[in-house]
A = this chain, B = another copy of it.
Amino acid sequence: MHVDELETPVPVVDLDKLEANISRLQAYLDEHKIANRPHIKTHKISEIAKMQMDAGAIGITCQKVSEAEVMADAGFTDIFIPYNIIGEKKLARLMTLAKRINVSVTADSAFVVQGLSNAAQHAGLTLTVLVECDTGAERCGVQSPQEAADLARTITQSPNLHFGGLMTYPSANNLDDYVNETCGLLKKDNISIERVSGGGTPTMWNAHENKEVTEHRAGIYVYGDRLTMRPGAVTLDTCAFKVFTTVVSRPTVDRGILDAGSKSLSMDLHGLEGYGYICEYPEAKIYNLTEEHGHVDFSACEKKPEIGERVTIIPNHCCVVSNLFDEVVGARGSQVEVIWKVAARGTVT
């Protein structure tokens, strides 16, 4: 089937570009002897995760237990969940998972460590726990190498837990310093840092600059989007993920309305201007989204689209877009080759 026969709105992945993106990052990380542990939250598709493993990844990263459950069901046996897992039921599910496959997690507080230790004792297994470090992103994470060392000691002393190293997101310039300082604080206790897990697509080509990093978790690199094009990590040419849409109204000379709104593109901005990039009309601006309508200002475009015309959009943030769709189309050139189920869509628990 030709892609133009697909009903819109529909997310389409360029398979040639997808494969090249997977190979390119793997080659770079191989060259620098950094393990590749891709984050599958971007695509949530087991077939793409398998392509990443086949290329040389050592395992995958999932953000929630439910996401990891879907991937374990699909046959993946080494999953990192860099999240504070809290609550009796979630911990029970984590232990069920840890009995089936190789799982590691993170913690940034004694509260989380205590819960993991209790659950692991109850399940009769040993769980690997890394310390999440805030290296400037100001999300989760301990606030200093001193806090990291303290929590590492707590993990080491907690029954049925194994201290697995340090994790941060995104990898920051000061990561080596953070790791070395923590390492120094732990030396007298004979605690070693076996894994240093960095992450992020925007800074992926600089991963080797932090010599202490042992593995990298990138998610978006497989698809690409406007957020990762901004720092140049992905280019217009390497971007593999687009949403095909149709112009359904041209109420005024300058205004156009697309059949893709916030339920197809999401309202993620993160500092970008407009809600997506229209490939055929680069000067156009998607200035607003309502649920099923994309509001476009075509005033800056010399040629303007007709009603019924199809236009393709590079979304601002592909991860949240693929999470909106049950299926994603894979195309080779203009021919549909595969339709993938977004198996882990909606897995937020």
Would you give the 0/1 interface string for A267-311, flagging 1 where the beta carbon is closer than 8 Å to chain B?
111000000000000000000001111010000000000111000
- Residues in B whose Cβ lies below 8 Å from that of A268: 262, 267
A291's partner among B89, B248, B263, B319 (CB-CB below 8 A) is B319
B266–A140 CB distance below 8 A = no
Min CB–CB distance A172 → chain B (angstroms): 15
In the complex with contacts A9-B348, A291-B319, A140-B249 CB distance below 8 A = yes
* Interchain CB contact under 8 A, B292 and A64: yes
Q: Is there an interface contact between B307 and A87, defined as CB atoms closer than 8 Å?
A: no
What residues of B have a CB within 8 angstroms of the CB of A64 in the complex?
292
> Which residue in B140, B143, B320 is a CB contact (below 8 Å) of A248?
B140
A140 to B257, CA, bound (A): 7
A250 within 8 A of B: yes
**CB–CB A349/B267 < 8 A:** no
Q: How many subunits of this chain does the assembly comprise?
A: 2
Contact indicator A41/B291 (Cβ below 8 Å): yes
Residue A86 interfacial (CB < 8 Å): yes
The smallest beta-carbon distance between A43 and chain B, in angstroms, is: 13
Is A329 at the interface (CB under 8 A from chain B)? no
Q: Contact between A260 and B111 (Cβ–Cβ < 8 Å)?
A: no
Q: Is the CB of B251 within 8 A of A142?
A: yes
- Pick from B10, B111, B252, B292: contact of A63, CB below 8 A: B292
Smallest Cβ-Cβ distance to A147: which chain B residue: B251
A31 within 8 A of B: no
Contact check: which of B10, B109, B264 meets A250 at CB < 8 Å?
B109
Interface residue A233 (Cβ < 8 Å from any Cβ of B)? no
Complex CA gap A86/B308 in Å reads: 7
CB distance from A62 to the nearest CB of B (A): 10
Q: Do residues B86 and A348 form an inter-chain contact, with CB atoms below 8 A?
A: no
Q: Are A267 and B267 in contact (CB under 8 A)?
A: yes
CB contact between A325 and one of B7, B9, B259, B346 (< 8 Å): that residue: B346
> Which residues of B are found within 8 Å of A111, using beta-carbon distances?
306-308
Taken together as a complex, chains A and B put the C-alpha atoms of A346 and B325 apart, in Å, by: 6
Q: Does A48 count as interface, using CB distance less than 8 angstroms?
A: no
A8 at the B interface (CB under 8 A): yes
Contact A264 B348 (CB under 8 A): yes
Min C-beta distance of A61 to chain B, whole Å:
12
A251-B324 contact in complex given A307-B86, A349-B10, C-beta closer than 8 Å:
no
Kindly list chain B residues whose C-beta atoms are within 8 Å of the C-beta of A246: 86-87
Q: Is the CB of B248 within 8 A of A290?
A: no
Chain B residue numbers with a CB within 8 Å of A290 are 139
Residues of B within 8 A of A87 (CB): 7-8, 246, 308
Residue A52 at the chain B interface, CB threshold 8 Å: no
- A134 contacts partner chain B, Cβ-Cβ < 8 Å: yes
Interface string of A89-110 (1 = CB under 8 A from B): 1100000000000000000110
Cβ of A326 within 8 Å of any chain B Cβ, yes or no, is: yes
* Contact B326 A7, beta carbon cutoff 8 Å: no
**Contact between B138 and A255, CB atoms less than 8 A apart:** yes
**6 closest cross-chain pairs (CB), A and B:** A84-B248, A140-B249, A111-B307, A7-B349, A63-B292, A267-B267
